[in-house]
A and B are shown apart, each in its own frame.
Chain A
Amino acid sequence: MSENTPVLEMRNVDKSFGPIDVLHEISLKVHEGEVLCLLGDNGAGKSTLIKTLSGVHQPTRGEMLMDSKLVNFQNPREAHDMGIATVHQFGGTYPLMSVGRNFFAGVEPTKGFGPFKIFDRKKANRIAVEQVQKFGITRITDGDRLVGGLSGGERQSLAIARAVYFGARVLILDEPTAALGVKQAAHVLRIVNEAKKRGLAVIFITHQVMHAMAVGDHFAVLIRGAIAADFRKGDKSREEIADLMAGGESMADLEASIEGYMETHGGHVPPPAH
């Protein structure tokens, strides 16, 4: 596969819920070893966009491609099986289960045979601890510890480590740092970088400029369900990005111009600014 083939691509995707149009003509690409930051105000459609990517919703119009082949996920399971892992805030972990049992939920290692196949707790714990430690979470040393006793950042990290270990190619993170303190967020960002180094394509939603700047290679700004800006790291200064995200002047400009464009172009959105 050539370097330039995106792992996952959206072409002119629209998504409506009945009469409510939420996404308009979204075109996006994510490549291996690249972090795409999805920015935008509350209600802009970020969550709807990633839910479409991860099979929760089906596009109303437009197409999705994986490795340049058309795909059509009917449910999250299908997307998951193709290597698209979605980590919601605190999602994917079970607080009252141990680290080892969490890590292997649904794909438990067993030993023994016939009806006496038993869950291989030692192996599960060993691999789980090994994997999260590889991601720099050295505080987790006991696979029997309940996940609910870990910090939010550690839980996120566990979920990400799990997705990577089980061969995810695209990692989708919906505001993974939203409720975290500085140190915890640093944990998660470090892990996002680590996942990127391992060649995963990462889609990262955040409201915090610092977090976006720390890991992003590529930024897309959603405004009212349309991609208003699409640029690479270095194309814009931190201030410009911060302004865009904070809905400052350039955001207001963009918004106004999009509305103007849509009015004069029969509801179509302008090509994203670069």
Chain B
Amino acid sequence: MEMMSALLRRPAAASILSLVGVLAFYVIFGGVDLGKLLNAASWVNYAARIGIVAIPVGLLMVSGEIDISIGAMIPAGAMSAAIITGYYEFPMIFGILGAIGIGVMVGLINGILAVRTTVPTLIITLATLVAMQGVVLAGSKLLTGSASVPLTAPGWAKTIFGQLMFGGSHQVIIVWWVIFAVVFWFVLHQTRYGNWIFAMGGDKESARNAGIPVNRMTIVLFVLTATSASFVGMCHAILFNSAQVSGGMNDIFNIIVSVVVGGVLLTGGFGSVPGVFVGTLTFAIVIKGIDFTTIDRNWSNLIIGVMLLTAVAMNESFRKLALTAVLGKKENAGDSVVAVAKNN
């Protein structure tokens, strides 16, 4: 019982329950063959694609900010790699650096605007989202005359960023996702930087007064979200030998839903990397796992809506549980004000 309640108090609790709930639903009402589902690659590939971005976005949201420009940064990373290496035929390494570089640049712009102005980051990154959509489309048309650019990556790049693993259909990006999760788990939950991120989301003014370099941390987090998005785009271009301009609106919603299902508080100050990891898995199973059921795939959005609400409600109540965890029943506060006055 004690262990059970300790488990429920962890930020990942709701996402684990959501995962179990979705699987149970698919098995009972969708007639899913669990073995088949677990062996399938489609949802794992998809989870990795959004998961790599969802983890830094989760950290950013714990710190009390949000970044929706990631939607434009996935195609921006893909197009940068494809234009530099595919169209202009520079060595692959330049394509990779270009994709990473555009992420760092947009991340810096977001971060610097966030700390220099009082504009909410939702608005700042909405502006950079739209601006980057324009830059990517117009830039691609201007440079290559097309909105779709082919790219043939050398073997080593395929192996590191794009290859399908085990000769099957699992993409190597899954390994990257796990690496991201471990590194960010370490940073958020084991280092002082993690403590800073939580404190920033808890109370930014107090954090600043406690000497935490709030501005620097905010900029770094924005660079991480934008760069992780351009990284995912680059991996896709390398894997599929081409890049297309796209709006990336779906990605924004899918990533943020995964983060929220993963137990991150929208207002900041609470969340965990394991939670976001499981939240992403759950989300991917809903979207891609529905193909393994007898349920019409068009219902998947309804399921996501219901799951989102359920997960958020669960997160709320588990957080309350964590807050009201029984203290020792000792009562020492009995002395009255008068007693204090006498002691004085």
A149-B324 in contact given A96-B202, A106-B207 (Cβ < 8 Å) = yes
User: Which residues of B lie under 8 Å from residue A97 when comparing CB positions?
Assistant: 195, 198-199, 202, 269
Q: How far is the CB of A164 from chain B (nearest CB, A)?
A: 15
Tell me which residues from 314 to 329 in chain B have a Cβ below 8 Å from any Cβ of chain A: 319, 322-325, 327-328
A77 within 8 A of B: yes
Q: Measured between alpha carbons, how far is A106 from B332 in the docked complex, in Å?
A: 31
User: Which residues of A lie under 8 Å from residue B333 when comparing CB positions?
Assistant: 139, 153, 183-184, 186-187
User: Which residues of A lie under 8 Å from residue B196 when comparing CB positions?
Assistant: 105-106
B203 within 8 A of A: yes
Q: How far is the CB of B293 from chain A (nearest CB, A)?
A: 37
User: Which residues of B lie under 8 Å from residue A150 when comparing CB positions?
Assistant: 327
Let me know if A96 and B192 touch, CB within 8 A. no
Let me know if B191 and A118 touch, CB within 8 A. yes
Query: Which stretch (A23-31, A208-216, A224-232) binds chain B?
Result: A208-216
Q: Measured between alpha carbons, how far is A209 from B104 in the docked complex, in Å?
A: 57
The residue among A97, A137, A182 with the most chain B CB atoms within 10 A of its own CB is A97
A260 within 8 A of B: no
Q: How far is the CB of A62 from chain B (nearest CB, A)?
A: 24
Closest residue to A190 on the B side, CB-wise?
A: B340
Contact residues on B (Cβ < 8 Å of other chain), bracket: 35 or more
Let me know if A117 and B337 touch, CB within 8 A. no
Let me know if B322 and A105 touch, CB within 8 A. no
B298 within 8 A of A: no
Count of chain A residues with a beta carbon within 8 Å of a chain B beta carbon: 47
User: Which residues of A lie under 8 Å from residue B210 when comparing CB positions?
Assistant: 92, 105-107
User: Which residues of A lie under 8 Å from residue B207 when comparing CB positions?
Assistant: 94, 105-106
User: Which residues of A lie under 8 Å from residue B343 when comparing CB positions?
Assistant: 190, 193
A146 within 8 A of B: yes
Tell me which residues from 24 to 56 in chain B have a Cβ below 8 Å from any Cβ of chain A: none
B190 within 8 A of A: yes
Let me know if B341 and A106 touch, CB within 8 A. no
Let me know if B195 and A119 touch, CB within 8 A. yes
Q: Measured between alpha carbons, how far is A136 from B339 in the docked complex, in Å?
A: 14
Fill in one digit per residue for B181-224: 1 if any A CB lies within 8 Å of its CB, else 0. 00000100011101110110011011111111000000000000
Q: How far is the CB of B213 from chain A (nearest CB, A)?
A: 9
Let me know if A96 and B209 touch, CB within 8 A. no
B335 within 8 A of A: yes
Let me know if A214 and B206 touch, CB within 8 A. no
Let me know if A211 and B327 touch, CB within 8 A. no
Let me know if B206 and A119 touch, CB within 8 A. no
Let me know if B340 and A101 touch, CB within 8 A. no
A199 within 8 A of B: no
Tell me which residues from 189 to 238 in chain A have a Cβ below 8 Å from any Cβ of chain B: 189-190, 193, 210-211, 213-215
Q: How far is the CB of B31 from chain A (nearest CB, A)?
A: 41
The residue among A80, A138, A148, A210 with the most chain B CB atoms within 10 A of its own CB is A148
Tell me which residues from 167 to 187 in chain A have a Cβ below 8 Å from any Cβ of chain B: 182-187
Fill in one digit per residue for A145-175: 1 if any B CB lies within 8 Å of its CB, else 0. 1101110010000000000000000000000
User: Which residues of B lie under 8 Å from residue A255 when comparing CB positions?
Assistant: none
A193-B344 in contact given A94-B269, A149-B327 (Cβ < 8 Å) = yes
One of A76, A106, A145, A153 near B212 (C-beta < 8 A): A106
Let me know if A95 and B327 touch, CB within 8 A. no
Looking at chain A's contact residues, is the secondary structure mostly helix, strand, loop, or mixed? mixed
A110-B192 in contact given A94-B198, A94-B199 (Cβ < 8 Å) = yes
User: Which residues of A lie under 8 Å from residue B322 when comparing CB positions?
Assistant: 146, 149
One of A86, A105, A117, A211 near B195 (C-beta < 8 A): A105
One of A77, A184, A185 near B211 (C-beta < 8 A): A77
Let me know if B206 and A92 touch, CB within 8 A. yes
One of A95, A110, A186 near B340 (C-beta < 8 A): A186
User: Which residues of B lie under 8 Å from residue A259 when comparing CB positions?
Assistant: none
Q: How far is the CB of A106 from chain B (nearest CB, A)?
A: 3
B330 within 8 A of A: yes
User: Which residues of A lie under 8 Å from residue B206 when comparing CB positions?
Assistant: 91-94, 105
Q: Measured between alpha carbons, how far is A96 from B269 in the docked complex, in Å?
A: 6
B283 within 8 A of A: no
User: Which residues of B lie under 8 Å from residue A190 when comparing CB positions?
Assistant: 335, 340, 343
A96-B325 in contact given A101-B198, A106-B210, A138-B330 (Cβ < 8 Å) = no
Let me know if A139 and B334 touch, CB within 8 A. no
Closest residue to B206 on the A side, CB-wise?
A: A92
A117-B269 in contact given A77-B211, A80-B211 (Cβ < 8 Å) = no
Closest residue to B202 on the A side, CB-wise?
A: A94
Q: Measured between alpha carbons, how far is A94 from B265 in the docked complex, in Å?
A: 14
User: Which residues of A lie under 8 Å from residue B328 when comparing CB positions?
Assistant: 139, 141
A63 within 8 A of B: no
A73 within 8 A of B: no
- Give residues in A with beta carbon < 8 Å to B: 76-77, 80, 86, 91-97, 101, 104-108, 110, 117-119, 136-141, 145-146, 148-150, 153, 182-187, 189-190, 193, 210-211, 213-215
A-B contact pairs, 28 of them (CB 8 A): A91-B206, A92-B203, A95-B269, A96-B265, A96-B269, A97-B198, A97-B202, A101-B198, A101-B199, A105-B199, A106-B199, A106-B210, A106-B212, A107-B210, A107-B211, A118-B186, A118-B191, A119-B191, A138-B332, A139-B327, A139-B332, A145-B325, A149-B325, A182-B337, A185-B337, A214-B337, A214-B338, A215-B344
Q: A140-B327, A145-B327 are in contact. List 8 more A-B contacts (CB 8 A).
A: A91-B205, A93-B206, A96-B265, A110-B192, A146-B323, A146-B325, A149-B327, A183-B335
